[in-house]
Amino acid sequence: MPFIAAVATASPRHDGKTEDRVAVLALGQALVVVVADGAAGISGGAAAAEAAMTGVVEAIASTPETFSRVESLLELLRQLDHDVERMPHAGETTVVVVVVTEGGVLGASCGDSGAWIIESEGHDDLTADQRRKLRVGSGRALPVPFVRAHFDGTLVVASDGLFNYATAEAICSNARGVDLHAAASGLIASVRMASGELHDDVAVAILRRRS
């Protein structure tokens, strides 16, 4: 496998339960990174995030060709929107799917979770054009695609619990760390308040080429 990855999650709840889901899934020599963040303030957020994650995992198993074309990823998210909306106990969720191959990066997103490529100087926000309020499960999801022909640096895919509360400087500084597991933990630490508490659930996946 030409890539290495690490994930981390945290929740402000005392029981540790979170409405965020994160996974890094193998697809041949490629990796598929998925983050789903169940919408707060709407019942069934965790169920929606879990259903979306399950849908992506099932698509990898049944139709792996979906992950080779950005148009197919858009259709997958539209189908997930339809499926989750029909579930009686599911609410809404963000979804970001990023496929990383030797040939570059492609993906699609709904909602306000994000994906950045951290470079030696600055970063590239892959999800800058996404529709933040049109989430999977709303029946109105409007997935937005992104494609990059080259992938260098470090990929960070995370829920808004990271991007809303950490500075770009803190995200980039942690992501450039040599040890990816320490970097993922550092990203979680960057959004903790002085008390050690969190504002929101947070889920992070971090990935780069194997050196």
The total domain count for the chain is: 1
Residue 199 contacts residue 23 (beta carbons within 8 Å)? no
CATH code of residue 48 = 3.60.40.10
Helix (H, G, I), strand (E, B) or coil at 60: helix
Q: What are phi and psi of 199, to 5 degrees?
A: -75, -30
Percent of the chain with pLDDT over 70: 99
Range of the domain at 91: 3-209
For the chain, how far is it from start to end, CA to CA, in angstroms?
11
Beta bridge partners of 95: 36, 110
Give the predicted TM-score (pTM) of the model.
0.95
At residue 179, the pLDDT reads: 95
Confidence of residue 78 (pLDDT cuts 50, 70, 90): very high
At residue 32, the pLDDT reads: 98
